[in-house]
Amino acid sequence: MLHGRKILLVVSGSVAAFKALMLVRLLRAEGATVRAVLTAGGARFVTKEALAAITGEHVSDDLWAAEAEIGHIRLARWAEAVVVAPASASRLAQMAQGLAEDLAGCVLLATRAPVLAAPAMNPAMWAHPATAANVALLAGRGIRFVGPGEGPMAEPESGPGRLSEPEEMLEAIRALFAEGPLKGRHVLVTAGPTREPIDPVRYISNHSSGKQGYAIAAALAAQGARVTLVSGPTSLAAPPGVTLKPVESAREMLAACEAALPADAAIFAAAVADWRVAQEASQKLKKEPGAGAPTLAMALNPDILATISTHTARPKLVVGFAAETERVIENAQKKLARKGCDWIVANDVSGDVFGGGDNTVHLVSAAGVEDWPRMPKEEVAARLAARVAEYFQ
């Protein structure tokens, strides 16, 4: 898939920059041509000579020297994809601001090719609201992200911040070139449970694993769509080429969905908590001797599916899920009307659907009801993605 592709790799400053060299190996093994731009920060961790040897190409690291040789505009035009790996906190901030103070900044502004960023930084830096805002801004402009992951890092802290493995970055680059019927379409997917806080240490949630929603996001990306996956807490990694927006509560999920619009289609596979605790306690609720159990007043959560179905920027195709334990079809048909969506994927959850690998669903729309046989969640996802593709044909 990458044979003959021209990929421009921007290596910025991170101790993980050595993985960029491994990524070049993998890309070249697939037949891609890789040119590299080394930032001043990146040059602290890998040498220009190492990058030149491994890419087999001249490495650019100086805006002014590059002007004399190939020129940043030509370099930007040459690239069919630009990959920023590792993308440091500072590089993401510069990209968000559109700063063009060095060669990497100029190329990133001048390119019309898809851009993929693979962040790598200390977990506290990744968690900082400034970084989160920069990532949100860039994702909103269509920049794709892969990672960061969790795992051993140079720092003693743990949490997300680790540069994705070269194989994961390769998968995400393949996804940039994914040709398919949904190329050029943006699809929003929700997945997982929501977590509704009671106090700083307790919450109300449900057993949703997120498997079905993540599989749908992956299947849509494989059909060439640009996918934004708004997900509650799960143990799953973002599928390659999918932009993950992690959220916790239903209200956060709604805000992230609205921020992701416009979209051509939206698929709401999340198991959103219907209620939240009306007043989240700012301190941990105490078990006072003799006081008995507290009574928690509940409030209704927003219905994300219904809200987006009537939104001024409503996606053309809106798909909801209906988890039912009885009268599955009848309830799904009612839900279709009540929520204002186009299709409902109805499933019987009286069995082992939550966390399980298989699903039995019915596709309910104004056109009628289709019964799909029991199949793995990945296959449900692939079929649904194919139906979405057909809809836009």
Q: Which residue is nearest to ligand C5P (CB)?
A: 304
Asked if the bond preceding 86 is cis, omega within 30° of 0, the reply is yes
Tokens for 95, please give them: 């990209």
Residue 121: which of 83, 147, 82, 94 has the closest Cα?
Answer: 147
State the nearest-atom distance from the C-beta of 276 to ligand C5P, in Å: 10
Among the listed ranges 17-25, 101-109, 122-130, 267-275, the one in contact with ligand C5P (CB under 6 A) is 267-275
Provide the 10 A C-beta neighbour count for residue 259: 13
Among the listed ranges 89-97, 143-151, 300-308, 362-370, the one in contact with ligand C5P (CB under 6 A) is 300-308
DSSP result, 183-200: TT-EEEEEESB--EEEET
Q: How many residues bind ligand C5P (CB under 6 A)?
A: 14
State the nearest-atom distance from the C-beta of 308 to ligand C5P, in Å: 8
**250: contact with ligand C5P by CB under 6 A:** yes
Residues 122, 134, 206, 359: which is the catalytic one?
Answer: 206
State the nearest-atom distance from the C-beta of 319 to ligand C5P, in Å: 8
**203: contact with ligand C5P by CB under 6 A:** no
State the nearest-atom distance from the C-beta of 349 to ligand C5P, in Å: 10
Nearer CB in complex with ligand C5P: 92/322: 322
**210: contact with ligand C5P by CB under 6 A:** no
Among the listed ranges 95-103, 143-151, 319-327, 376-384, the one in contact with ligand C5P (CB under 6 A) is 319-327
Residue from the set 79, 84, 270, 317 that interacts with ligand C5P by CB under 6 A: 270
347 has catalytic annotation = no
**126: contact with ligand C5P by CB under 6 A:** no
**155: contact with ligand C5P by CB under 6 A:** no
Give CA–CA dist 87/17, Å, rounded.
9
Give CA–CA dist 284/298, Å, rounded.
18
DSSP E strand boundaries for the chain: 6-11, 33-38, 81-87, 115-119, 144-145, 186-191, 196-199, 202-204, 226-231, 242-246, 265-268, 275-277, 298-300, 317-324, 343-348, 358-359, 361-365, 368-371, 375-376
Residue from the set 30, 303, 358, 379 that interacts with ligand C5P by CB under 6 A: 303
Taking CB under 6 A as the rule, which mask of x and - marks residues 182-201 in contact with ligand C5P?
--------x-----------
Nearer CB in complex with ligand C5P: 291/366: 366
Question: Mapped to the 3 state alphabet, what secondary structure does 85-132 carry?
Answer: EEECHHHHHHHHHCCCCCHHHHHHHHCCCCEEEEECCCHHHHHCHHHH
Cα distances (Å, whole numbers) of residue 213 to 82, 192, 205: 28, 7, 17
Enzyme catalytic residues: 206
Which residues would be at the binding site for ligand C5P (CB under 6 A)? 190, 250, 268, 270, 272, 274, 301, 303-305, 320-322, 335
